[in-house]
């Protein structure tokens, strides 16, 4: 089986792999995930379908024994609820994307169940749609120190300047020598001075 998730973005693909790896490590039944996916698909057009899905998983995980599920099945739902809450919260307002990710997760679970090694879980944990958007930008660019990017000045407070790069990434930097000569809305060039461990931009400076 191919593990290439062509219909997903890089970050979404990493999330699908991470959920599958997490569930297989916890010895979760892929059929129970399939039932959860069927529930989400049934209610996809309802208002707040994503939030309802998470509530549904929580109910099954918490009260599964009371509604006829075995201890083992309730454990499966606890694992599913925990993994989905960890990795999918950012997409709860985009049920179509959640379904795509979970569809691939189901396929990947069967792959990992038949694999000798599950491997390291490397997906980013994104808790909001904004974080997901930023994660997508980071995954699509290999940033490097000394790299120059175009940036828009979005705010100036004293000697602190907020730059927006690539339409998504915002950073506030001290620019004691530049702040007074800049104006909000101005497009400038900034140089990457430092990166975080995950490859995202930590610090920039204006080079205009």
Is residue 202 within 8 A of residue 196, CB to CB? The reply is yes
Mean pLDDT of 45-63: 90
pLDDT digit string, tens, across residues 156-170: 999 999 999 988 889
> Which of the following CATH numbers is that of domain 142-206: 1.20.1090.10, 2.40.50.140, 3.40.50.700, 3.40.1190.20?
2.40.50.140
- Per-domain boundaries in the chain: 10-133, 142-206
Closest CA relative to residue 201, chosen from 158, 148, 154, 153 = 148
The structure's pTM equals: 0.64
Q: Which of 23-27, 35-39, 119-123 has the lowest mean pLDDT?
A: 119-123
% the chain with pLDDT above 70: 91
Q: Is the pLDDT of residue 1 over 50?
A: no
More confident residue, 184 or 198: 184
**Residues whose CB falls within 8 Å of the CB of residue 47, separated by 6 or more in sequence, listed in order:** none
């Amino acid at each position: 089986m191919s593990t290439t998730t062509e219909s997903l973005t890089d970050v979404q693909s990493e999330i699908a792999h991470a959920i599958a790896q997490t569930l297989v490590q916890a010895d979760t039944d892929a059929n129970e995930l399939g039932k959860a996916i069927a529930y989400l698909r049934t209610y996809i057009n309802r208002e707040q379908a994503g939030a309802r899905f998470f509530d549904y998983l929580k109910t099954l995980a918490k009260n599964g024994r009371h509604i006829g599920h075995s201890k083992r099945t309730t454990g499966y739902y606890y694992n599913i609820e925990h993994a989905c809450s960890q990795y999918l919260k950012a997409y709860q307002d985009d049920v179509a994307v959640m379904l795509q990710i979970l569809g691939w997760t189901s396929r990947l679970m069967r792959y990992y169940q038949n694999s000798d090694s599950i491997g390291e879980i490397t997906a980013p944990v994104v808790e909001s749609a904004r974080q997901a958007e930023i994660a997508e930008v980071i995954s699509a660019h290999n940033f490097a120190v000394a790299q120059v990017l175009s940036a828009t000045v979005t705010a100036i407070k004293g000697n602190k300047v907020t730059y927006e790069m690539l339409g998504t990434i915002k950073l506030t930097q001290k620019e004691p020598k530049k702040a007074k000569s800049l104006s909000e809305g101005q497009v400038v060039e900034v140089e990457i001075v430092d990166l975080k461990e995950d490859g995202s931009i930590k610090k920039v400076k204006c080079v205009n």
